[in-house]
Amino acid sequence: MTIRVVLVDDQELVRAGFAMMVEAQDDMEVVGQAGDGKQALALLATVEADVVVMDLRMPVMDGVEATRALQARAELPRVLALTTFDTDEDAFAALQAGASAFLLKNAPPDDLLGAIRVVASGESVVAPRVTRRLLDRFAGRLVTDQRARTRFDALTDREQEVLGLVAEGLSNTEIAARLFLSESTVKSHFGRVLMKLGLRDRVHAVVFAYESGLVRPPNDRPD
């Protein structure tokens, strides 16, 4: 299946370079380009895309705000956030807004293309352990969402347990060993967690765990 990609960057030369790279792949095509977040939202209302390669720092509407706005739409594409700045603040903002991946613009071409493929497949590029490190650092900016807590309470005890272990950064294999279950059973449980909570991948499951109060910031955890 061909991966439909939308490129969003305020620098036309950067978009042109990315477009040449993407179009050279047998399994990808560029279905649209935009110069800022506002243009991107308008474009994505008219074209179907699987992955949006989104610059975070743009005029008019930045990539974080545009990514957040996309979350309110049905059948939304996944967002691969790009930035020239290697800062935890950028990564945190992108992930909290709903991005499934975070890369620097100067990453090797193969890394960018690989990230597009991973995100299109439904996975995330940022490891859950990295997500938890970011959330631990910036947890003070997160406010426990009562609606998230209500959705969490609708999970079964086993599903809550699996989500908690995912939030710790454990892989399906590690969770299976911890709970004495088969890996396929863990995958089934976690698949139901994602479906019930309306989440896209493991990274956003970790974010939800903080928002629901399942995981507490380090300062709030018992010694």
According to the model, what pLDDT value does residue 134 have? 60
First and final C-alpha spacing in the chain: 50
Q: Could you report the per-residue pLDDT of 137-194, keeping only the tens digit for each?
A: 655 555 556 777 788 888 999 999 999 888 877 888 889 999 999 999 999 999 999 8
Give the integer Cα–Cα distance in Å for 81 and 90: 9
> For the whole prediction, is pTM greater than 0.85?
no
The per-residue pLDDT of the chain, averaged, comes to 82
> Residue 13, CB half-sphere, CA atoms under 13 Å: how many?
0
According to the model, what pLDDT value does residue 124 have? 63
Q: Which residue's structure tokens are 């994505």?
A: 44
Q: Could you report the per-residue pLDDT of 118-140, keeping only the tens digit for each?
A: 888 876 656 555 555 665 565 55
Check if the beta carbon of residue 160 is closer than 8 Å to that of residue 214.
yes
Q: Could you report the per-residue pLDDT of 69-79, keeping only the tens digit for each?
A: 887 776 678 89
Write down all domains in the chain, each with its CATH number in brackets.
3-126 (3.40.50.2300), 135-220 (3.40.50.2300)
Which burial class, exposed, middle or buried, applies to 70 when counting CB atoms under 10 A from its CB (0-12, 13-18, 19+)?
buried
Mapping DSSP to helix (H, G, I), strand (E, B) and coil, where does residue 5 land?
Answer: strand
Among 46, 44, 57, 138, residue whose Cα is nearest residue 105: 57
According to the model, what pLDDT value does residue 223 have? 47
